[in-house]
Structure 1
Amino acid sequence: MAAHERTLADVECWLTDMDGVLVHENHALDGAAELIRHWTETGKRFLVLTNNSIYTTRDLRFRLLASGLDVPEENIFTSALATAEFLKRQHPGGRAFVIGEAGLTTALHEAGFILTDTDPDYVVLGETRTYSFEAITKAIRLISAGARFITTNPDATGPSKEGDLPATGAVASLITTATNRDPYVVGKPNPMMFRSALNRIDAHSETTAMIGDRMDTDIVAGMEAGLQTVLVYTGITRPEDVTTFPFRPDYEFSGVSELLESLRGGEA
């Protein structure tokens, strides 16, 4: 562990990624349930973050419960919610053509947006299990006609039982090639998602830490948002990968079970 002024003992609030940190393929990872319980029992404010915009927080709570994790709805924050908050600040009561699922459409509805394909202010691209060529064509035409292009996250692929699926980032590249317009990407690694999360739980960057399994999204965004960063090796990034990046996490653990041991032992 790197020597620095702040330590994990100073952390009052926690942000954590979901897939690869708390769950893997709908199964809770070792120590995840205990870590959530520890935060609850010690009164720590926390949010579980995900770049996936498919599900509502209610859906995600149900999915997490099925995997053995009891996370309240109000402790879940998605790229769909971050996108809705961003657009509400940018253009209250605006109009949007949306490619996505219930997580995104519900968040935009609740933010006061009108969802329409008639003269929208924005084209908002999120995750969906079945991208429609017709919808993508409509998005290209609307963006070419002047609608601003927003995406919930940059992930190029997503997992499925059969293998990787094209995801938001890949479809966004197709639209960019056709329109010559780059999207504004709201989700990780944009630190804006982290700032929105901090505001949601009334947290300060000086006393907040981010747990993630990816150097290129979780750790870089946490670092840029001024948080302490904790990398776990139960997801994408492997120990040998860390040296290939020009930045490092503040802490590295095999998984959240080892992190929890450290927190309980006051070793940090």
Structure 2
Amino acid sequence: MSETDQQLVAAARNGDRAALEKLLRNHEGAVFRFGMKMCREQEDAKDVLQETLLAAARTLPEFRGASSVSTWLYTIARSFCIKKRRTSKFAPEQVHSLDADPEAVAAVRDQRRGPEEAFAGRQLREALDAAIGALEPMYREVLVLRDVEGLSAPEVAEVLGISVEAVKSRLHRARVAVREQLAPVLEPTDAAGTPAPAPEGCRDVVAMFSRRLEGEIDEAACAELQEHLERCDACRGRCEALRQTLATCRQLGAAPVPAPVERSVREALRRFLASERA
């Protein structure tokens, strides 16, 4: 835990209500964003945030600090997200696969307004959000936790209850799938708006580049990849598109909680804490 979280946890355990509220407030944005990415509807994400904070307030005495507060909260939030996906009126009737989804690809194409605006503006973020939403939940949660919220691979593994190797395997597949969906925005296209296919023998280069970003390939393999990118314009463009995708993911991780949601959830938390003291 960070020093600030340690201090707030200690104070909250000693009955400091203000410390508990501040601790949860410091992490509410991350929990809400996770709920939005996993449930896809603001009302569901608000419920996930509220239920997570109330559960954390109830169970704080059981939290021993073996993991970070954020990891603990994500674990709680994930359980509520799973329940929401099963019961919500907003739940999709079918789950998208890792294969390119035609409607999502069309939505990405529709967002394009020109290279400069697409790379820097709201259109790219909206297209990325649609591409993330097209992933199966098991891949979506890994990408959101690692690339949007910035958890380490071991922290993601702890939240999901899987191995670090499984986290990285899902992460690379998710990154490749999202980059493919964003290709109409991020890469040169033909007259029909279709990106050029990967050159023969280059189909695994983007996945290898993702592994390089995670420090998973040795120095020799890294040098070989770099040499290939220097002589292959197509692969260099595809890997640059992945880099741009990940940079935009980090921008999504800065989105605040909408003010009405924040007010509603904080009021519910205050009512709960007041009832606990009564």
- TM-score strictly above 0.5: no
- Higher strand proportion: 1
- Higher helix proportion: 2
Larger radius of gyration: 2
Normalised to the residue count of structure 1, the TM-score between the two structures is 0.32
